[in-house]
């Protein structure tokens, strides 16, 4: 994919560069043992308004945002968690990009024609659901209306300011007890909405790769009840 040099400025440019700096991301995730299934998620960044997003955004500007959703509490896996739009790859999907855009349209109603794909991050294992997930990094050139389409799967769709996610006061280490073990990982408290697990780990890794991370106190731990 071609990106003219004169357009590579600000946050969009740093997101593009992050795709080449994220080679260590898979090492942060527990591997899937046995059979796995391909999937993709859409990491869509843009601006918190309806104005078409240009390519000269300041790094981590106040209006830079990312699209997230909350999964239904009745789902069989990752129930009630905050996630990126996405899902399992269908047989008719040409590639991971097609999967991510299709799933995002089905789940949030966004118009894919207003989305510019910047690249993909390394495939990541999700042990609980046995997926191998390709994160698709994208820029929202022309924001469209989004909302939960099927409440059996998604109960809420929202856009979160990236600056809020980067705020050290928003960040903490989540602790989850499973099968007698404690698992720790990065997490975010967005005005009472907790982002943890795969989504938080992916955001944490991307922020590191983009050079956006602000040092935060990893000794602050809070338990999560899945």
Whether 116 maps to a domain, the answer reads yes
Question: Residue 135 maps to which CATH number?
Answer: 3.90.79.10
For residues 21 and 10, the model is more confident at 21
Whether 18 maps to a domain, the answer reads yes
Whether 176 maps to a domain, the answer reads no
* Token pair recorded at residue 73: 């509490």
The pLDDT score that the predictor gives to residue 10 is 84
pLDDT (mean) for 124-146: 91
The pLDDT score that the predictor gives to residue 147 is 87
List the end-to-end C-alpha distance of the chain, in Å, as a whole number.
Answer: 39
Closest CA to 55 of 15, 12, 14, 3: 12
Give percent above pLDDT 90 in the chain. Answer: 66
Whether 142 maps to a domain, the answer reads yes
Residue 4 pLDDT > 50: no
What is the tens place of the pLDDT at every residue in 85-127? 999 999 999 999 999 999 999 999 999 999 999 999 999 998 8
* Token pair recorded at residue 203: 């955001």
User: Is the pTM value of this prediction over 0.95?
Assistant: no
What is the tens place of the pLDDT at every residue in 23-65? 999 999 988 877 889 999 999 999 876 555 554 445 677 889 9
Q: Is 77 helix (H, G, I), strand (E, B) or coil?
A: coil
Give percent above pLDDT 70 in the chain. Answer: 87
The pLDDT score that the predictor gives to residue 79 is 52
Whether 97 maps to a domain, the answer reads yes
Residue 178 pLDDT > 60: yes
pLDDT band, residue 6 (cuts 50/70/90): very low
pLDDT band, residue 76 (cuts 50/70/90): very low
- Residue 76 exposed, middle or buried by CB count within 10 Å (0-12, 13-18, 19+): exposed
Closest CA to 223 of 186, 173, 178: 173
Whether 210 maps to a domain, the answer reads no
Whether 211 maps to a domain, the answer reads no
What is the tens place of the pLDDT at every residue in 152-174? 778 889 999 999 999 999 999 99
Residue 148 pLDDT > 90: no
Going along 147-217, which residue ranges are E strands?
154-161, 171-178, 181-190, 193-195
Range of the domain at 56: 5-163
What is the tally of structural domains in the chain? 1
The pLDDT score that the predictor gives to residue 205 is 97
For residues 69 and 181, the model is more confident at 69
Whether 203 maps to a domain, the answer reads no
- DSSP conformational letter for 134: E
pLDDT band, residue 15 (cuts 50/70/90): very high
The residue with tokens 């705020």 is 167
């Amino acid at each position: 994919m071609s990106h003219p040099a004169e357009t590579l400025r600000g946050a969009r440019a740093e997101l593009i560069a992050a795709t080449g700096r994220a080679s260590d991301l898979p090492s942060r995730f527990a591997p899937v043992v046995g059979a796995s299934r391909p999937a993709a998620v859409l990491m869509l960044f843009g601006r918190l308004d309806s104005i078409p997003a240009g390519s000269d955004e300041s790094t981590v500007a106040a209006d830079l945002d990312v699209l997230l959703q909350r999964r239904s509490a009745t789902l069989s896996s990752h129930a009630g968690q905050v996630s990126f739009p996405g899902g399992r790859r269908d047989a008719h999907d040409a590639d991971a990009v097609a999967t991510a855009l299709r799933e995002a349209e089905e789940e949030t109603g966004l118009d894919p024609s207003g989305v510019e794909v910047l690249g993909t991050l390394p495939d990541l294992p999700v042990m609980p659901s046995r997926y191998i997930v390709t994160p698709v990094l994208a820029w929202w050139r022309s924001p469209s209306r989004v909302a939960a389409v099927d409440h059996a799967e998604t109960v809420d769709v929202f856009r979160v300011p990236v600056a809020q996610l980067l705020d050290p006061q928003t960040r903490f280490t989540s602790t989850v007890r499973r099968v007698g073990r404690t698992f720790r990982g990065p997490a975010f408290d967005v005005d009472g909405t907790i982002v943890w697990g795969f989504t938080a780990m992916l955001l944490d890794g991307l922020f590191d790769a983009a050079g956006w991370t602000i040092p935060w106190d990893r000794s602050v731990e809070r338990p999560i009840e899945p």
